[in-house]
Amino acid sequence: MNITTKSVTYPFGKETRPAFLAQPEGDGPFPGVVVIHEVFGLNENIKDITQRFARQGYAALAVDMFSGRSQVVCLFRFMSANLRGLATHAGIDELKAALTFFGQQPGVDPQRLGAIGFCMGGGFAITWAFSDPRLHVIAPFYGTTPKNLEEAAARSCPIVGSFPEKDFTAEPAHALKAALDKQGIPNDIKFYPETRHSFFNDQSPRTYNAEAAADAWQRTLVFFETYL
């Protein structure tokens, strides 16, 4: 499938934030996926994932959560707020602004929107899903969960999650699945043995696991097709 790509900016308060947009050629409307990077920022790996979604028939917007600011400071502030269970903080507000912009783009169906996130981005996706009904499905990869998990899960959309079995994110992911099951929220949470954090990142030779990554990608596509 032929796709188009371009760098864009979206408004956030009185400022703008950069992002990378990829979508199939044609008028659409296409279901949309927001792609949230891990701690390495909006790099070529994230842009490649964004384009992979476009080749599958989705419009995809990769956000830049650091946006020229101090990566360390942003990461500390965002993760601290996320782990405290805050449903709204600077990171979530930026994602909501990005989704508003995204849903207004030509060719994007504003009624079929989802998100995928990795590491830090996976944690953002989970917390975001608890506070924004515009999201219809999310796919967190090795992300953490907020403390108020059981209460927040009642507001969640369907979730397809992928986690290393022995990673520090595995225990929170088990709790996430239990909370989703208790609330009757559709989910597919899978744990991959013998994988490491960032196993989906094919530009990280130390952590990449091709077999697990391929399986997680197919599960994500099937789940997204069902709910988007």
Q: Determine the structural domain holding residue 173 and report its residue range.
A: 25-38+66-227
Q: Buried b vs exposed e over 83-118: b needs ≥16 C-beta within 10 Å?
A: eeebbebebbebbbbbbebbbebebbeeebbbbbbb
- Evaluate if residue 75 carries a pLDDT over 80: no
- Evaluate if residue 81 carries a pLDDT over 80: no
User: What is each CA distance from 66 to 76, 142, 164, 209, in whole angstroms?
Assistant: 11, 20, 26, 27
CA angle, 123 then 167 then 43, to 5° = 50
17 near 67, Cβ under 8 Å?
yes
- Evaluate if residue 86 carries a pLDDT over 90: no
The answer to whether residue 129 is domain-embedded is yes
Number of domains in the chain: 1
Span 47-66, pLDDT tens digits: 999 999 999 999 999 999 88
Q: What is the CATH number of the domain that holds 72?
A: 3.40.50.1820
Span 118-155, pLDDT tens digits: 998 999 999 999 989 999 999 999 998 887 788 888 89
Q: Which H or E run contains 174?
A: helix 170-183
At 89 the pLDDT is: 60
The answer to whether residue 201 is domain-embedded is yes
The answer to whether residue 5 is domain-embedded is no
The answer to whether residue 55 is domain-embedded is no
Span 7-44, pLDDT tens digits: 999 999 888 999 999 999 998 899 999 999 998 899 99
pTM for the whole structure? 0.93
At 102 the pLDDT is: 98
